[in-house]
Each structure stands twice: as structure tokens, then as C-alpha cells.
Copies of this chain bind each other. A is one copy, B any other.
Amino acid sequence: MTARSILVVGSLAYDDVRTPTATRDHVLGGAASYFSTAASRYAPVRLVGVVGDDFREEDVARLARHGVDLEGLERRSGRSFRWTGTYDFALDTAETINTDLGVFGDWHPRVPGSFADSELVFLANIDPEIQLATLAQVRAPKLVALDTMNYWIAQKRDALLRVMAKVDVVSVNEGEARQLCETFSIVRAARDILAMGPRVLIVKRGEYGATLFTRDFSFWTPAVPLEEVVDPTGAGDTFAGGFMGYLAECASLDDASLRRAVLHGAVCASFAVERFSIDGIAAATRDAIEKRYDTLRSLTVL
């Protein structure tokens, strides 16, 4: 069958990133960039986002070359989203040095009519009220996933709970899961989050891999073991891109597909962190993805 189409709504940004060994300024970032680059390895991707008039044409062309449909890309007068972050030696959680939302700050996404029939939807990290308003513009999605972050959990908890009740998949990192449920136990947090409505929860754990929870089972994968992580920025959104991308190819969204999709998410994330910006996942061919999938799979087989 032909892969289903995937709609992503989220940020396109320019990042300044500092790691203990290197620095990159003004590189393409943002959740939608990472997600769509990964998901485009699998399926047609439709992007809804906003950029300022400082956004480089070459970056638009780059996404287009990956087959991303940019009809939903708004260009507005003003600055594009800018993020400056730094990592310590553990290369796990970023410390945000500066955020300048620019035109992203008061943006209200409009889903083009031609995107309204999208079957899979990824609501990247953004104000949950915006996630709700965006989702309302998609006609009859088969699978909706959302990501969020500590800020919305703390500041817009009610709106976040409303949108969580409307989606199929919630994707958070383990710190966010703990914050959302006010418990250290990931097992308890998973049960609590699933009680909020979604049928699938993905807990991302950085170098420790990821876990998918449903009411009936959980599936655990390590991360792809890497000699060196260069820049963890975007790993979570790239994971979501691989996860949703793989599901877009599946005839059925059954439990076995969900499990394999987790592995694809982890594989895509592993490519992302090997280079700065989207360079790592952009360079990953589908063949390379499949090879690494087999490697990851082998790590847990008796």
C-alpha cells in the first residue's frame, strides 16, 4: 500500500548549540524540522509552521528536497524562532540559555484545506491551546500524537489535559512524565497518563532508550549504542518522526506495529544525535535505517 500522509505542526528554528567539545551557531532546528526530516524517510509529510523573513531559502529548499510539502509554511515579517542551549558532559538535558520566539510567539497555525485529510498528525511541542485549535482543523485523523514540555505542564495544565484526552499517543521524556504525575515511579506515571485519555504513552529516556506503554502491555528498547553523541538536540522529535513515519507505512496500527515503530523512532534518533542540526537524520538513507534497526533489534534477542 501507499504510505499514509503525515501532518506535523510545530516550530522551525535557528539554534545556537554549545556542547563540551563544539559550538554551532544559527543552525536549522525546531521540532518540525527534525520530525519532518525523519518522517520523510517513510511517508509524505505535510508541514504546518511559521518562519520570519530571516529564514534562509536554502533551508526551505532542504526540507522540500526531502519531499516535505510546505504548503502550510507561513512566512511572516519578523524574526524566526531562535533557541540557544548548552549541554554538559552527560549530554542529556539541555540548559536553555535563551529563547526568542519571534514570529512563532503569537502564531495561530492554519491547516491548508489540502492537508485536512491527513491520516496521521503530530502536534509538536507548542501551547496546548494551539494544539487543540490545530487538531480541530483536521477532518478525521487515524492517529494523533503530541509532544509537550515542562513549561506547559506547569503553566497550562488544564489545556494540556484537554488535548491529551483527544489524542492517541502522548510522547514525553521521563522528567516530564514524572512532573505531570508528581511521582518518581515511571510505572505509576504511565498508568496515570493513560488514564488521562491517550491509548499510547511513549516515555523517552535519552541514552537509556524509550518505553511504549498501553493499558495492556509495555515495550522497552535501549537506545542505539553510540561511540559518540555529538548533539542531542532534536532527538525526541526525530524519534517521533521515525515512530510516526513507520506507522504511516503500516496497513494496521496494531500492537506489533507500535512495537516496531518504537524501534524505528530510536533508530532515527540515533542518527540525529550523531551530528548537529538535522544533518544526521538528513544523511540517513532508508537502507542505513534498516541496517541499524536490525542491530538495535539484536541487542535484546536471546
Which of A's residues lie within 8 Å of B, judged by CB? 89-91, 184-188, 205, 207-209, 211, 217-222, 225-229, 256, 259-260, 297-300, 302
Docked CA distance A187–B89 (Å) = 15
Quick one: which of B187, B205, B229, B256 contacts A226, CB cutoff 8 A? B187
A227 touching B302 in the complex, CB below 8 Å, given contacts A205-B208, A222-B211, A222-B220: no
Instruction: Identify the 9 closest CB pairs spanning chains A and B, nearest first.
Output: A300-B300, A220-B222, A208-B208, A220-B299, A187-B225, A259-B302, A187-B227, A89-B184, A220-B300
CB distance from A53 to the nearest CB of B (A): 41
Cβ–Cβ contact B218 & A225, under 8 A: yes
Number of copies: 2
Additional 14 contacts, C-beta under 8 A, given A187-B225, A218-B225, A300-B300: A185-B229, A186-B225, A188-B227, A205-B208, A208-B208, A208-B209, A209-B220, A217-B298, A219-B299, A219-B300, A220-B222, A221-B300, A222-B222, A259-B302
Distance in Å from the Cβ of A136 to the closest Cβ of chain B? 36
Assembled-state Cα–Cα distance A136/B219 (Å): 45
Please measure, in the bound complex, the distance between the C-alpha atom of A107 and the C-alpha atom of B221, giving whole angstroms.
44
Give bound CA distance, A109 to B12, whole Å.
Answer: 64
Nearest Cβ in chain B — how far from A284, in angstroms?
19
Contacts of A300 in B (CB 8 A): 219-221, 300
- Cβ contact of A228, chosen from B185, B220, B228, B260, cutoff 8 A: B185
A187 shortest CB reach to chain B, Å: 5
In the complex, how many angstroms separate the beta carbon of A145 from the nearest chain B beta carbon?
20
Complex Cα–Cα for A89 and B183 (A): 10
Could you tell me the distance between the alpha carbons of A297 and B208 in the complex, rounded to whole angstroms?
Answer: 17
Please pick, from B90, B259, B297, B299, the residue contacting A184 in the complex, using a CB distance under 8 A: B90
Chain B residues within 8 Å of A184, by CB: 89-91
